[in-house]
Amino acid sequence: SKAPIAVIGTGIAGLSAARALHDAGQAVHLFDKSRGSGGRMASKRSDAGSLDLGAQYFTARDRRFGETVRQWQSEGWVDQWSPSMYQSHDGQLKPSADEQVRWVGTPTMSSITRGLLGDMPVNFSCRITEVFRGEQFWTLVDATGVSHGPFSQVVIAVPAPQAAALLSSAPKLAAVAASVAMEPTWAVALGFATPLNTMLEGCFVRDDALDWIARNRSKPGRNGELDTWVLHGTSSWSRQHLDLPKEAVIERLHGAFAELIDCVVPAPEFTLAHRWLYARPAQAHEWNALADAGLGLYACGDWCLSGRVEGAWLSGQEAARRLLENL
Ligand code: FAD
Ligand code: NAD
């Protein structure tokens, strides 16, 4: 009975699990509803070049993750980003340099998940809507009604609200996933023909509307015609303005940016808004990963640990470890 293992989700959690399983000699098949890998750490292609609209950078506090990031660096998938960092206090900007090592994918965030995917088999543009177990094997059904299988085990690596729906074979796991609240984030990109006259390259704002600002070209390997900036709304502002039209979101966050930043902000040449509905878990958990070893059903993702790239990667490792331990 050597059916492959299905991994649903090609974000960093799913690819962390899939790589570990593949490296242990298991056959893996991945699925993702998007056209490419990366999930919330994907970079988006746009008329202003590739943009990091989701994860902006990541830190490595766990020893194993730190070692892995060093390997990614030697593969050429990541590099350090050392922005001229600021923070805002009551609307006032202040330089806020620190010693924190911060990493980004190069030349785009997606380089990491693309590298991890390698030549493992994957179905993109394939949204899984049902996961069920027959007598011996698992079958997945996609949104167009097509069945995929048989699979020996299934690893679900999607945000908690979406995982809950796919975990119905294991009601206890489904209930845990359903208990996780996830917060939205509005992301806006602004591209300027003339570089803005500021030193600022990254800024923790945590204001009413704005949470974070980053200057795209300050990241290693990014080059574009325009001086492009990424703005993130806070969770609460984003929740309150969840259904605001994109043009209005751009206008509001552009306004907050222009008010905050210490230079003249002309009309942008390029604008784009993206709504992340499940951007981050409202709180951290210590679940590592969810497992029903008897059934052969596993779940992982940032929501099982911290809502960060590192947490998602560690959760994927843990799902793979538990699966292998139960073979
Ligand atoms: P995801 O990346 O969400 O991956 C899940 C994948 O599953 C997606 O590719 C999705 O398309 C797919 N999928 C979902 N449902 C289905 C389905 N039914 N069928 C098939 N495929 C499906 N972290 C940091 O460490 N530093 C940061 O600076 C940072 N900033 C962030 C800013 C924003 C705006 C956002 C949104 C996130 C940020 N994060 C940051 C968090 C970080 O991006 C996430 O913690 C991490 O990428 C989550 O990885 P994941 O694999 O658990 O989930
Ligand atoms: P980190 O260590 O750089 O930052 C952690 C937190 O410490 C920051 O949020 C900030 O509040 C504070 N901080 C760090 N350096 C600072 C400085 N120089 N000046 C002022 N404050 C500073 O990174 P991390 O722990 O890996 O966290 C990842 C980041 O990703 C966080 O900022 C988090 O808010 C963000 N994130 C955002 C989303 C989203 O949906 N918008 C989701 C997940 C994570």
SS (H, E, C) the chain: CCCCEEEECCCHHHHHHHHHHHHCCCCEEEECCCCCCCHHHCCEEECCEEECCCCCCECCCCHHHHHHHHHHHHHCCEEECCCCEEEEECCEEEECCCCCCCEEECCCCHHHHHHHHCCCCEECCCCEEEEEECCCCEEEEECCCCEEEEECEEEECCCHHHHHHHCCCCHHHHHHHHCCCEEEEEEEEEEECCCCCCCCCEEECCCCCEEEEEEHHHCCCCCCCCEEEEEEECHHHHHHCCCCCHHHHHHHHHHHHHHHCCCCCCCCCEEEEEEEEEEEECCCCCCCCEEECCCCEEECCHHHCCCCHHHHHHHHHHHHHHHHHCC
Whether the CB of 237 sits within 6 Å of ligand 1:
no
Q: Give the pLDDT of the chain (327 residues) as one tens digit per residue.
A: 589 999 999 999 999 999 999 999 999 999 999 999 999 999 999 999 999 999 999 999 999 999 999 999 999 999 999 999 999 988 899 999 999 999 999 999 999 999 999 999 999 999 999 999 999 999 999 999 999 999 999 999 999 999 999 999 999 999 999 999 999 999 999 999 999 999 999 999 999 999 999 999 999 999 889 999 999 999 999 999 999 999 999 999 999 999 999 899 999 999 999 999 999 999 999 999 999 999 999 999 999 999 999 999 999 999 999 999 999
pLDDT of residue 90: 86
Ligand nearest to the CA of 165: 1
273 forms beta bridges with: 188
pLDDT of residue 197: 97
Candidates 41, 108, 116, 315: which one to mutate for ligand 1, based on the most atoms within 8 Å of Cβ? 41
The atom of ligand 1 lying closest to the CA of 127 is 19
Quote the CA–CA distance of 138 and 140 in Å, as a whole number: 7
Ligand 2 centroid vs 281 CA: distance in angstroms?
Answer: 14
63 forms beta bridges with: none
Whether the CB of 59 sits within 6 Å of ligand 2:
yes
pLDDT of residue 173: 98
Rounded to 5 degrees, what are φ and ψ at 171? -55, -35
Three-state SS at 6:
strand
Whether the CB of 204 sits within 6 Å of ligand 2:
yes
- Per the structure block, which two tokens stand in for 230? 């990424």
pLDDT of residue 51: 95
Q: Which is it for the CA torsion 74, 118, 279, 54, positive or negative?
A: positive
Ligand 2 centroid vs 168 CA: distance in angstroms?
Answer: 34
Candidates 204, 285, 302, 313: which one to mutate for ligand 2, based on the most atoms within 8 Å of Cβ? 204
pLDDT of residue 326: 96
pLDDT of residue 223: 83
Ligand 1 centroid vs 302 CA: distance in angstroms?
Answer: 8
ipTM of the complex, rounded to two decimals: 0.99
| Distance (Å) of CA 256 to CA 15, 189, 206 | 37, 13, 12
